[in-house]
Structure 1
Amino acid sequence: MYKDYPAAYQVSKGAALQVDTAFYERIRTNAQQRTLVEQFEVPIRTGRAWKVKAGQVFRVTTPVGPQVGDFNVWNANDPRERLWAARTRQLQGGACQHPRSAVVEPAVFAANGNHHR
């Protein structure tokens, strides 16, 4: 059973690592104002890469039930900046809504794959 452990680093209000929850809530609630750019399915036992521009939102779903897979994210302009799952867990604890990059910036917003702008 998955346990929701507290973050290893407790963030104080106004700290650089504090998540701007209001910003992400605005992204989540304004879905109807976005335009669908692309929609695709990644078949089982395959993979796919796609670019998401700054300001765009993407969604990953599992329409046939729970799946196991790898999910990797890189900055197209700086491959040293990448999704850092281990650091994200340290910074935010168990269930994560705001994955962090190797430079500790929010890498992506986990909303729930449609690709909108």
Structure 2
Amino acid sequence: MSYPRPQSPNMQNYRPQLTSVMSIGHRLSGVALSLLAFGLAAWLVAGAAGPVAFDYAQAAMRSNAGRVMLVLAPLAVFYHLCNGIRHLIWDSVHAFELRNIYVGGWVVVIVSLFLTLALWIWVLT
């Protein structure tokens, strides 16, 4: 009995690489930012609707899920921003050597985490 071979590219046959993980992360952060825009709009509408609606919105933001979202939202913004700058550098036909691609990828990750941490330190002080 012969089984059909998987068609390439099959994600189960490949080891995740920094470039592929960052590409997926860029897409996910873009989707998250779109959803966060709807959440921001809902929060603003609740504020305009009156104190009762705004209290419900604030309670949602104080929930565990709301707090996780508030912590991860700046990370999504900074990651998407930094990775977008990296893509703009690539669009200018620079940093295409394999070593520079990996260095740039790690720079994006480190700078995104640093900016998120710096923002939260600034907000909480």
Normalized against structure 2, the TM-score is what? 0.21
Structure in which a larger fraction of residues adopt strand: 1
- Higher RCO (CA 8 Å, separation ≥ 6 residues): 1
Computing the radius of gyration over CA atoms, which structure comes out larger, 1 or 2? 2
Structure in which a larger fraction of residues adopt helix: 2
Normalized against structure 1, the TM-score is what? 0.22
